[in-house]
Amino acid sequence: MFNMRFTPVASLLMFGSLLSTAPGDATNVAKQPPALVQPSLHLLDRSTSSEGVGANATGVEGVECEGEFCADADPTQSKDAPSAKDDLSPELRELRDRVRSVLGAYHRRLLNSRDNNPWEVMHSIVAYGVDSDLHRGGPKGETVNSIGFLCYNGACHGERLLLIDRGRISIRKGPYVQGHYGQFLAILAQSRVKTDYPLLVDGKTFTIADVIESEKLGCQRGMELTFKLLALSHYLDLDTTWKNQAGEEWSIEKLVREELAAPIRGAACGGTHRLMGLAYAVNKRQKSGQPITGEYLRAKTFLDDYHRFTLSLQNADGSFSTEWFNRRADRNDQDRKLQTTGHILEWMAYSLPQESLTDPRIIKAVNYLSGILQNGEDRGWEIGPLGHGVHSLAIYDSRVFKPHDTAATTQTLARREVVIETSPASATSAPAAKSPGDAATDSPTTPETGRPTTNDGEPGCEEAPADSDGPKLFGP
């Protein structure tokens, strides 16, 4: 039986079905994790529910439509088929084709468990979600699903991600594994892996729900809560309360308060992950139909301010500042520009209002990022920046281009792609057309906040030593 998968563009033709392969068994035992049926981040088959964006509806059998793009679903539009009219401007059509070319090109280049560590594999999942595969044992090894491999605690470059601590499943934190508490769960949340998906550690089976409980117990004041906020905002009802290991009561709103009290400057990857975590919480609140008040209102105002501030620092070529949110800067270094522009655009593409995504400044940023990735397909980009950069394009494609796809569009694009192996099917999204607000003046004021915290950092997010090239992906 063939295990074929179309590239991300080709799979747009498969609207009626969801083909998936079982993730590889990381331990060569008889058990295998069940097939991941969630569609990939940029191929989400979105809900057709007439109940609107607050509904927890099902777009494909077994798929929980509860992720980032469901929040933008337009209940007045059918998501069952491509639209009848491709009404994108010629400029946006050209940009769409480039973005999809980049998504397809990088999707065909796989990591392997011999040479790449869990942190690196996690960042390939950031880019492609449940469609991320790797070669087991070396570059020519069997192709297995990346999420399934990590969840069954497969060894990557000799490192395993999972362990059992006092009877509970725990995710290792440190070099080569997750760089931040809650990071692996946040990546699973962004990939919309269901809570009953299994993990296997030392012969004992757990589920994602068990990981959620472990992360809840580990919440503490003063620690970096960025990735816990993102993950728990996705998986929990906003009214959920729980107690940590010290018996203190916690909630999503308390996580938001703690993250608002922490700085952006000096946080992981320039503060972009902190902004993304806050955006997930606000987005979930908006989807719930509850009023935006209290800490959620503070967070929304803060994010809106940062949108305007970020655009005030944008460079003439469309890239964002190479000094993150510290000041205007345009370092002549494409690796650095991928790092900062990829992370910043990822957060912007997710968190901006739908009508702001075709603002000329956002289009310019997407054009810049897709351009350097297209021209640098043979370049040895660093894994973290590449994963986040590709993710930003996937989000933009799903929110801006997919609702304008027609059957003719998908057929034409699919003919340009090489058939490789099977991936879950289809996606649609919702329209665009306005501005996120006027850019600030020549001396923008940073919308900064709060108390200092330590930056746990991770490869690709910290300033690398002068003698270090950092971890590489797809090197020549």
pLDDT of 211-236, one tens digit each? 999 999 999 999 999 999 999 999 99
Find, among 155, 162, 132, the residue nearest to 383 by Cα. 132
Percent of the chain with pLDDT over 90: 66
For 25-34, 89-98, 138-147, 398-407, which range has the lowest pLDDT when averaged over its residues?
Answer: 25-34
HSE-up of 400 (CA within 13 Å, CB side)?
Answer: 31
Q: What is the mean pLDDT of residues 303-326?
A: 97
| Number of C-beta neighbours around residue 189 at 10 A | 23
Cα distance between residue 186 and residue 142, in whole Å: 27
Find, among 253, 242, 250, the residue nearest to 282 by Cα. 253
Q: Which residue has the tokens 């757990």?
A: 206
Q: Is pLDDT above 60 for 474?
A: no
* Pair of tokens at residue 266: 């000096």
The most distant pair of C-alpha atoms in the chain lies apart, rounded to whole Å, by: 63
Tell me what pLDDT residue 268 has: 92
Tell me what pLDDT residue 406 has: 80
pLDDT of 445-467, one tens digit each? 444 433 322 233 445 564 333 22
Residues β-bridged to residue 370: none
Helix (H, G, I), strand (E, B) or coil at 448: coil
Confidence at 13, pLDDT banded by 50, 70, 90: very low
**408 or 475: whose pLDDT is higher?**
408
pLDDT of 316-366, one tens digit each? 999 999 999 999 999 999 999 999 999 999 999 999 999 999 999 999 999
Q: Is pLDDT above 60 for 380?
A: yes
Tell me what pLDDT residue 94 has: 96
Distance, first Cα to last Cα, the chain: 33
Q: Which residue has the tokens 């060894």?
A: 155
Helix (H, G, I), strand (E, B) or coil at 408: helix
Q: What is the pTM of this model?
A: 0.75
AA letter at 421: E
Percent of the chain with pLDDT over 70: 67
For 23-32, 81-90, 141-150, 363-372, which range has the lowest pLDDT when averaged over its residues?
Answer: 23-32
| C-alpha of 162 from chain center | 21
Tell me what pLDDT residue 405 has: 86
Tell me what pLDDT residue 428 has: 24
Cα distance between residue 199 and residue 187, in whole Å: 15
| Number of C-beta neighbours around residue 183 at 10 A | 26
DSSP state, 270?
G
Q: Are 130 and 145 in contact (CB under 8 A)?
A: yes
Cα distance between residue 173 and residue 447, in whole Å: 31
In sequence order, which residues have a C-beta less than 8 Å from that of residue 161 and are 6 or more positions away? 118, 150, 153, 171, 172, 177, 178, 184
Tell me what pLDDT residue 152 has: 97
Tell me what pLDDT residue 407 has: 67
* Pair of tokens at residue 436: 């996120």
Tell me what pLDDT residue 165 has: 96
* Pair of tokens at residue 58: 């099902």
* Pair of tokens at residue 54: 């607050």
DSSP sequence for 65-124:
E-STGGGG--TTS--SS--S-----HHHHHHHHHHHHHHHHHHT--EETTT--HHHHHHH
Confidence at 441, pLDDT banded by 50, 70, 90: very low
* Pair of tokens at residue 324: 């993150």
Q: What is the mean pLDDT of residues 22-29?
A: 31
Cα distance between residue 366 and residue 389, in whole Å: 10
Find, among 370, 387, 421, 377, the residue nearest to 125 by Cα. 387
* Pair of tokens at residue 51: 């109940």
pLDDT of 59-111, one tens digit each? 222 223 333 333 333 322 334 444 546 689 999 999 999 999 999 999 999 99
Mean model confidence pLDDT for the chain:
76
Tell me what pLDDT residue 314 has: 98
Q: Are 320 and 341 in contact (CB under 8 A)?
A: yes
Q: What is the mean pLDDT of residues 260-264?
A: 97
Q: Which helix (H) or strand (E) segment is 204 a member of?
A: strand 204-207
The domain 96-405 is placed in CATH, from the list 3.40.50, 1.20.120, 2.40.10, 1.50.10, at 1.50.10
Cα distance between residue 229 and residue 226, in whole Å: 5
In sequence order, which residues have a C-beta less than 8 Å from that of residue 469 and are 6 or more positions away? 382
Tell me what pLDDT residue 396 has: 98
Q: Are 421 and 66 in contact (CB under 8 A)?
A: no
Tell me what pLDDT residue 87 has: 86
| C-alpha of 321 from chain center | 21
